[in-house]
Chain A
Amino acid sequence: DTEVTQTPKHLVMGMTNKKSLKCEQHMGHRAMYWYKQKAKKPPELMFVYSYEKLSINESVPSRFSPECPNSSLLNLHLHALQPEDSALYLCASSPRAGSSYNSPLHFGNGTRLTVT
């Protein structure tokens, strides 16, 4: 069982659609992350939220818009995506961002996104 819950598990959307991915954790973690993973490749960091504030944006295109409404929730809003954006999107959390508190990331099961 995962302590980081992602919904939906699968999503198919057209290039003109607007959709959102959701991530939830109740471990009291104050850092949350979005990763993108292509097939048979390692995850690539997209965004990091620390104490509900965006701390890292890895030059992600604006068609991906993250949101952290509170310390337990993380959303990724999608708009005007391209077929090459099809991937597994993983959410993760940790007690804190940075490394002054050494704790590994806890990952969710991901959302498999297909853009048609």
Chain B
Amino acid sequence: AQTVTQSQPEMSVQEAETVTLSCTYDTSESDYYLFWYKQPPSRQMILVIRQEAYKQQNATENRFSVNFQKAAKSFSLKISDSQLGDAAMYFCAYRSARETSGSRLTFGEGTQLTVNP
């Protein structure tokens, strides 16, 4: 079974600064997908960024980028120029590329990010 670990229950950052959230995972599979979701107080889970394991290039979405280290099974999220609206719970998630188990997302425990003005 796959596991996802987020070792930072809480993080804080000053507005306009950069912060990195850590995520490691354990899997025996070679093909899979990784995601970062944010959940603000509005409760909706919002996709921030995704990465396909077979792609070596790190994904980027505006101020959000990942550092994907497949051999180390690490998938960290970097938020640049942090904004107050970035404050949320961030979940790292894994999904198998195998059709039969690809419906399941395995989530980490989450990192609560606070952005200080």
A interface residues with partner B (beta carbon < 8 Å): 2, 31, 33, 40-43, 45, 48, 50, 55-56, 88, 90, 92, 97-100, 102, 104-110, 112
Cross-chain pairs A/B with CB under 8 angstroms, 16 sampled? A42-B107, A42-B108, A43-B107, A45-B105, A50-B103, A92-B45, A97-B102, A99-B98, A99-B102, A100-B99, A102-B33, A104-B50, A105-B45, A105-B105, A107-B37, A109-B42
Bin the interface of chain B by size: 20 to 34
Q: Report the Cα distance A31→B103, complex, angstroms.
A: 9
Contact partner of B44 (CB less than 8 A), chosen from A50, A104, A107, is A107
Say whether A2 contacts B44, CB under 8 Å: yes
Say whether B107 contacts A99, CB under 8 Å: no
Q: Is B30 an interface residue (CB 8 A)?
A: no
Q: Is B95 an interface residue (CB 8 A)?
A: yes
B100 to A, closest residue via Cβ: A98
Say whether B103 contacts A42, CB under 8 Å: no
Q: Report the Cα distance A2→B103, complex, angstroms.
A: 21
Q: Report the Cα distance A33→B104, complex, angstroms.
A: 10
- How far does the Cβ of A112 sit from chain B's closest Cβ, in whole Å? 8
Contact partner of A98 (CB less than 8 A), chosen from B35, B52, B99, is B99
Instruction: Give the residue among B107, B109, B110 with the most A Cβ atoms within 10 A.
Output: B107
